[in-house]
Chain A
């Protein structure tokens, strides 16, 4: 599903975020990317979502070489991915419903389908009763769940989550991780960036550990 071949990333100013990283993620896999701050975890997600471009190497996503993707095609590539951010990136002047509906509006779904799908997603994350509220009126855990609802509403084949439980207490973190496990069980590839050791021990079937931009371990839990 996702293959990284000798990926390196150097930011302007000379900082090496990643150097010579190679791994592949199969379809339907749930993978954690762990490491200290500045290890390059988030950069990997940004490279997969084409928010950043690698300085070297190649990324193959769904049999497509991302290096050869034209600028105008990048939005269509992003529509295949459900991206979840630590700070949610919600639109504060739009209701919960409007925030979740945004990916479907961009893709061009019919209104009645948008209604069905958004409600299904909000129901999934337990926020259906808040559909008309503004996100800022809700707690940070609820806001995080709106972000998740928005990411899953277009039923992507891949979910990339960047520190999705970073601001949440352990109970809420478990709730959110259970959602990811549920998505993964129906065949969705899930990549979670986290430095929460408890989370990794409990859910980490496969953990890629980064240190100073290098892949130092590719751990798979034995069954």
Chain B
């Protein structure tokens, strides 16, 4: 095939030929030709852009699979960096469910004034039942309270001390809505009840709930700090891996730059390489977490049964798995972008 004879396809020398053929033709025809040419160009460029993205995605994965040992090391480091905060998050989530159980067991006992009539107390109970924080209200009349007392202290001298008089007021036992209740809201609600005209006194024990709530806050903050530290770690690991990859391929990068490749073209496979490190590291992290959860589940269940703590270790759900993989992918991409942006600018043909 002679050099001048161009095969079909996009050929910029063909442009010269077409341009020559437009000599003498009206400027209108020429502008039509230019418009058509630019439209084709835009379409072709976009097609090439997408094609190169797809190629880079596959090439980057293949490149990693070709050197399985070094790739596995990077996946492993990323997986461990993602597993630690994930594990702690699961523990925090489990403790949170325990706290909910504590909140559920939180009850307020409202002792009414002796002077308040039963219908009034019943009215107060009805009003409280409508409150969003209240799950249900049990009314114990003064007679019921005395009967219960007598039942408990049957045969003891204390009953004689009471005589015929009933010292007990009516009591409202208010169980709280576990989903909405927290130590602060419970305390606020109890203070409000105390101010009621019918209320003699309020009994409330939130110390345990408060302690657990503070513990959860500590764990949550620890998870956040660990997530940030390990995220920076992953960012640096991927960045360093890509930096070494760039240095290893320095000659190839120089050649492609000399031929006309821009930084975007060279950077694309590196970005996908970072993305794959993050995605596969994330998948490994999920596998490690699931295996660890399964391994710990039985002894925790046994401990829970023995201690009546109703503690259950949370497991990774589909959403959490997706978040971990997406987090790994984003950090891998970012680390790779940072390294390639910096180093590709420094590598120029001389």
Contact = CB atoms under 8 A, between A and B. Distances in A.
Interface of A: 49, 51-52, 72, 75-76, 78-80, 83, 89-91, 102-103, 106-110, 112-113, 116-117, 120, 123-124, 150, 152, 154-155, 157, 182-183, 186-188
A89 B11 contact: no
A110 B40 CA distance: 13
A111 to B, nearest CB: 9
Contact of B261 (A90, A106, A155, A182): A106
Question: Which residue among B44, B52, B256, B350 has the maximum number of chain A CB atoms within 10 Å of its CB?
Answer: B256
Contacts of A76: 260, 262
A48 B3 CA distance: 24
Interface string B1-35: 11111111111110010000000000000000000
Interface string B315-350: 000000000000000000000000000000000111
Interface in B235-268: 252, 254-262, 265
A102 B259 contact: yes
A150 B259 contact: yes
B12 A106 contact: no
A102 B13 CA distance: 18
Given A51-B350, A107-B260, A108-B52, A186 B255 contact: no
25 contacts: A51-B349, A51-B350, A52-B350, A72-B262, A75-B262, A78-B257, A83-B259, A89-B254, A89-B258, A90-B255, A102-B256, A102-B259, A106-B256, A107-B48, A108-B47, A109-B9, A110-B9, A112-B9, A113-B8, A116-B8, A117-B6, A117-B9, A152-B3, A157-B13, A187-B4
B188 interface: no
Interface string B63-79: 00000000000000000
Given A51-B348, A79-B259, A83-B259, 14 more contacts: A76-B260, A78-B260, A83-B258, A89-B254, A89-B258, A90-B255, A91-B255, A106-B256, A107-B10, A108-B52, A113-B9, A117-B7, A124-B3, A155-B11
A123 B1 contact: yes
B4 to A, nearest CB: 4
A56 to B, nearest CB: 19
Nearest to B48: A108
B45 interface: yes
Interface string B122-153: 00000000000000000000000000000000
B58 to A, nearest CB: 14
Interface of B: 1-13, 16, 44-45, 47-49, 51-52, 252, 254-262, 265, 348-350
A52 B255 CA distance: 15
A89 B13 CA distance: 25
Nearest to B348: A51
Contacts of B258: 49, 51, 78, 83, 89
A116 B7 contact: yes
Contact of A103 (B1, B6, B45, B260): B260
Question: Which residue among B7, B12, B256 has the maximum number of chain A CB atoms within 10 Å of its CB?
Answer: B7
Nearest to A151: B259
A120 B4 contact: no
A78 B13 contact: no
Contacts of B350: 51-52
A147 B255 CA distance: 11
B4 A75 contact: no
A113 B3 contact: no
Nearest to B260: A79
A108 B44 CA distance: 8
Contacts of A120: 1, 5, 7
A123 B2 CA distance: 9
Contacts of B3: 124, 152, 155, 182-183, 186, 188
